Structure 1
Amino acid sequence: MKKILFPTDFSETANNAFVYALEMAKCIDAEVVVLHVYDLPSVSYGEIPFVVSEIYDSIELNNFENFKDQIPFLREIADKHQLGSVKMSHVLRHGDLIRTMKEICHDELIDMIVMGTNGATGLQEMFLGSNTGNAIVNIPVTLLSVPNGAKYTRLQHFGFTTKFDDADREALKKVVNIAKKFHADVKCLTVKTHGFDVSDEGMTFWKSDFKDEPVEFFLVPHDDVKETIYDFVEHQNIDVLAMVTHKRNFFEELFTHSLTQKLSYHSEKPILAFH
């Protein structure tokens, strides 16, 4: 893993996620590519096109000046957290955020995206149409979503949810590799509902790939998958919850409005989404 993309609007939420991006880059020896994307307004002056050109030039100049002014502040954040040695590059683009992110991920061979989101409401929106949700669905790159309430401390426990299928096995290998960089362990949760059809032999075979790794497995019989995940995160002191995005509707169900109260603790936990 060599490059981490960090899209920012220079907000408090983004700056909070920036610390996670820096810490991740430090542990995996990666570069942070800082991206700021802005939109040009739709302006139409058919008879005096030079006015439109001047307006666009002015907007682009203002965005460039703002971007330039923010770079030293990001350096201050890095230095404050003893992360000033992390390599950073900066990209300023205008256009659509998701399309621009996809282009940069392709051109720069991005390995991970780190983005911020706002609290419990932000977690719901994250999978229901926000920029972070759209990125998770539309950009085939591992994405770490960092809620504004998550304050970085040393990562000790990574959580992972699995149904013991092949996609989960490959994702878990990636989670283990990341966790080991942080000298952390991985706690895997399987919620055994009435429809769960994996045999004991099948689970044993699936787990055999991880017998020498810092991985612990938990099998919890319950039909409420969402509540079981929340309880697991709370009681196992999970610092980052990793999940595979099999279906978008799973996340839509996971973060519905009716579960806002349950998210009171979960909103402080970053989510690492794998495709």
Structure 2
Amino acid sequence: MKKILFPTDFSESANNAFIYALHLADTFRMEIITLHVYEFPILDSNYIEVPLYQAEVYESLELSSFENYKSQIPVLRQLASANGMEHIPISNVLREGDLVDNIASIVRDEPIGYVIMGTQGASGFNAFFFGTTTADVMTGTNAFVIGVPEESKYEPIRKIGFATAYNPDDKTALAKLIPIAQTLGAVIECLHVQLPGEPSDAAQIADWKQAFAQSNINFHTIESASVEESIIDFTEVHKIQLFALLNHKHGFWEGLFHTSLTKKLAFHLKVPLLALHEG
């Protein structure tokens, strides 16, 4: 059985995303693995004269992390019960080390279908989606990744947005998105933002429409100088509940999200963002 990996710091933002994880686990008939990670501090050797003291600090932190973890697990189970999801199989993992490294390790070792995380404000969203190390994980795993903004409240997903440049990789990604949409009972609203000076390729668009004629997909083209602002507006106008992007390799996230206009997507997109993988 496929599983959903749910990394959490037990914050309100994370608990909000947990509700999404529960509903998707129910829809896709998956189990959930919750993951809480803590890190030992790097202690200044100038202030530590004996290794025993360092060991005591680490032991104290490990015990404190475990006690906090142990006290928060019932909270997650209460959330599941309150949302009618107490039947979802849930296992819990506590690990020490780097969060991203631990996510990558579990994705390699377990049949993870999705990684679902809460994002807390612009800084949290950037730290998760646009950090270099996280981008490495996203491009190095076969799991789909969903980031759930703090202000996004769960509702059944009936419309999925998908941004495309009408290239072969996007066509492959769209083919992967179709069974997800079918399971959710959702229509895909496929968006192409035509930049100024970019030639319109009617033949290519017609080819896509023919290739996906049997699927529940609507195709849209918007002429705009800003892909990011167009995505935000499109999501609001069409009442999109989940927006999907192809997670290109070779530094796609870093390159795409370096400009100030693109970062507006992190600030203003209020629906969960699904990163589809290549390959």
Is the 2:228–2:262 Cα contact (8 Å) retained in structure 1?
no
Corresponding position: 1:68 with 2:70: yes
Q: 2:131 corresponds to which residue? A: 129
Return the TM-score normalized by structure 2.
Answer: 0.87
Is the 1:38–1:93 Cα contact (8 Å) retained in structure 2?
yes
Question: Which moves more between the two structures, 73-82 or 140-149?
Answer: 140-149
Q: 1:19 corresponds to which residue? A: 19
> Any stretches of 5+ residues in structure 1 without a counterpart?
none
Q: 1:95 to 1:61 in 2, by over 3 A?
A: same
Q: 1:96 corresponds to which residue? A: 98
Task: Give the letter aligned to residue 222 of structure 1.
Answer: S
Q: 1:242 to 1:100 in 2, by over 3 A?
A: same
Alignment RMSD (CA, Å): 2.5
Corresponding position: 1:253 with 2:259: yes
Report Cα offsets for 1:38-79 as digits up to 9, x if no partner. 001223487532332233222212211211111111000011
Q: 1:119 aligns with which of 108, 121, 125?
A: 121
> Any stretches of 5+ residues in structure 2 without a counterpart?
none
Is the 1:124–1:256 Cα contact (8 Å) retained in structure 2?
no
Q: 2:89 corresponds to which residue? A: 87
Give me the identity figure in percent: 38
Q: 1:201 corresponds to which residue? A: 203
Return the TM-score normalized by structure 1.
Answer: 0.88
Residues 1-275 of structure 1 correspond to what in structure 2 (within 5 A)? 2-43=2-43, 44=45, 48-120=50-122, 122-129=124-131, 135-136=137-138, 139=141, 141-197=143-199, 199-246=201-248, 247-248=252-253, 249-253=255-259, 256=262, 259=264, 263-264=267-268, 266=269, 268-275=270-277
Q: 1:97 to 1:165 in 2, by over 3 A?
A: same
- Write the distance in 2 (CA, Å) between the matches of 1:104 and 1:159: 29
Kindly state the Cα deviation for residue 125 of structure 1 after the two structures are TM-superposed.
4.7
Aligned length: 271
Question: Which moves more between the two structures, 145-154 or 38-47?
Answer: 38-47
Question: Which moves more between the two structures, 165-174 or 131-140?
Answer: 131-140
SS in 2 for 1:6: strand
Kindly state the Cα deviation for residue 253 of structure 1 after the two structures are TM-superposed.
3.3
Is the 2:241–2:271 Cα contact (8 Å) retained in structure 1?
yes
Is the 1:127–1:255 Cα contact (8 Å) retained in structure 2?
no
